[in-house]
Chain A
């Protein structure tokens, strides 16, 4: 049961470097999400994709871009990393119905120095 798989699990970047977090789900879900989690802040939505070919900004999109490559994959890109982007990032997916469960990846720990 792969579920939601995200890579890398850990990454250290220097300020100004770029990187892409990869995410794939094997549950045929339409909706996919990227969240960041910071101490005391709970989960904050960065971007989401309600279906293949569509993406929308969430609560904290600045400094990020996303690509819904196909139905399975939803990547998050940091074009010029900043220390404020040090966080734990979670990819998630779900069916679109209101009763559908959200399934999360295991998280990517990113440190920007």
Chain B
């Protein structure tokens, strides 16, 4: 069935380190792909998205590329900051309408230390 596998955390990095959080999915059809971020005590908010193969989503220095051939959407940032400490969720959204078509990964907690 449809599912998403996200790199388990927690991840602890020093400021200015490079970040990769892996995400792969299995899905029928052609999903759109999202990364959401949750800061402490808040709800989830969109970080970036890509809606077709080879699209690159980007925001706040984060990037992810829709790789249809490997069914992946890995999140990267070249130089993390303390303010990036949060939980990150990968979420494919499938094509079917009229039903629940959104799947969340389990979340990856990132802590950035000065």
A interface, CB within 8 angstroms of B: 4, 33, 40-43, 45, 48, 50-51, 56, 58, 90, 92, 94, 96-107
Contacts and interface: CB of A to CB of B under 8 A. Distances in A.
Nearest to A90: B43
Query: Main SS of the interface on chain B?
Result: loop
A5 B34 CA distance: 22
Interface in B3-34: 30-32, 34
Interface in B89-108: 89, 91, 93-95, 97-102, 104-107
Contacts, number: 65
B46 interface: yes
Nearest to B29: A98
Interface in B34-58: 34, 36, 41-46, 49, 51
Nearest to B94: A98
A42 B43 contact: no
Given A106-B43, A107-B43, 16 more contacts: A4-B43, A33-B100, A40-B106, A42-B104, A42-B106, A43-B44, A43-B89, A45-B100, A48-B100, A51-B98, A97-B97, A98-B94, A99-B32, A101-B34, A102-B91, A104-B43
A42 to B, nearest CB: 4
A29 to B, nearest CB: 13
Contacts of A42: 89, 104-107
Given A42-B107, A98-B51, A99-B32, A50 B98 contact: yes
A85 B12 CA distance: 31
